[in-house]
Amino acid sequence: MLGDFAQENIQIQQLGVAVTRAYAQSHEQTVLKFTRAYIQGIHRFKTDKAFAEQVMREYLDTTDQTQLDDAFNTYKDVFEKVPTPSDASLQSIIDTVPEAKGKSPGDLMDPRFVQKLQQQGFIKQTYGS
């Protein structure tokens, strides 16, 4: 391994979901339902190692248990319970992608769907704490 971004606390946007602002505005309930399912999927991955490894076995096309264990142990800490990108991780995109030049982190994200679920207690209920 060359490095571990999670262990080194290096802010980099590794995963994300994107829709246009117009779609998010005209399909708010669909985006909210997707966000709810996304959070449930993260929870399932983090709390059900056997299921997570079964899925990774299929999509990574490997049966190597060491690779599966390593992937699970790496990604269970990468996936956030509250999946909103940080300004620093988005800034890393702005700094390296020419098309993003002149943008601010706020231009690239709309955290209201995750925030709404958090305010409703959905995330706390999902994780039981």
Structural domain includes residue 83: yes
Structural domain includes residue 16: no
Q: How many domains does the chain have?
A: 1
Q: Phi, psi at residue 73, to the nearest 5°?
A: -65, -30
Structural domain includes residue 13: no
Tell me the residue length of the chain: 129
Structural domain includes residue 3: no
User: b/e for 3-27, b at 16 or more Cβ within 10 A?
Assistant: eeeeeeeeeebeeeeeeeeeebeee
Structural domain includes residue 61: yes
Structure tokens at 45: 């991955």
Residue-range definition of the domain harbouring residue 37: 28-127
Residues of the chain with pLDDT under 50: none
Structural domain includes residue 67: yes
| pLDDT tens digits for range 34-59 | 999 999 999 999 999 999 999 999 99
CB-CB neighbours of 117 under 10 Å: 21
Structural domain includes residue 5: no
